[in-house]
A = this chain, B = another copy of it.
Amino acid sequence: MSKSELVVLGQDAEPAACCSPMVREPLDAADAVDLARMFKALADPVRLRLLSLIASHEGGEACVCDLTGPFDVSQPTISHHLKVLREAGLVGSERRGTWVYYRAVPGALARLSALLAIPPAARPGTPA
């Protein structure tokens, strides 16, 4: 793992590709599979808390060493959860010597947020 896995900025350009609010039009099956995978990554309390710890951490990133303490689960479990988040595209990681740092992927969060948003001018099902 000599190359950085930390995502390049520019992810922000991606949200529009898939996810206008779901209340506006039905999701297609392919998008749904992709999105369900991301929601599945969020569907565990420990992972939610990990993500929020990472995302809100000073400097916008957190070292695994900052993440193994606050939970009542073992280190391998934390690693496993981080892997799930990483593979879902919600976080990126970068090794700096012994230490591994994780950072949230803003574009991915924004994508999900946009999907769930209620359009301001319309309510569900109200023609926009």
Contacting pair A112 B103 (CB below 8 A) = no
CB of A32 within 8 A of chain B? Answer: yes
- Of all A-B residue pairs in the complex, the 7 with the closest CB atoms, nearest first, are A60-B125, A40-B43, A113-B116, A32-B45, A22-B52, A23-B55, A39-B42
In the complex, A44 Cα to B103 Cα: how many Å?
Answer: 26
Contact pattern, A 17-28, Cβ under 8 Å of B = 1, otherwise 0: 000001111110
Within 8 A of B (CB), among A75-128: 103-104, 106, 109-110, 112-118, 123-127
Of the four ranges (under 10, 10 to 19, 20 to 34, 35 or more), the interface on chain A belongs to: 35 or more
In the complex, A42 Cα to B27 Cα: how many Å?
Answer: 12
- Other A-B contacts than A22-B55, A60-B126, A113-B115, 9 sampled, CB-CB below 8 A, are A22-B56, A23-B52, A23-B104, A25-B52, A25-B56, A26-B49, A27-B48, A36-B43, A43-B43
Nearest residue (CB) in B for A90 is B116
In the complex, A49 Cα to B124 Cα: how many Å?
Answer: 15
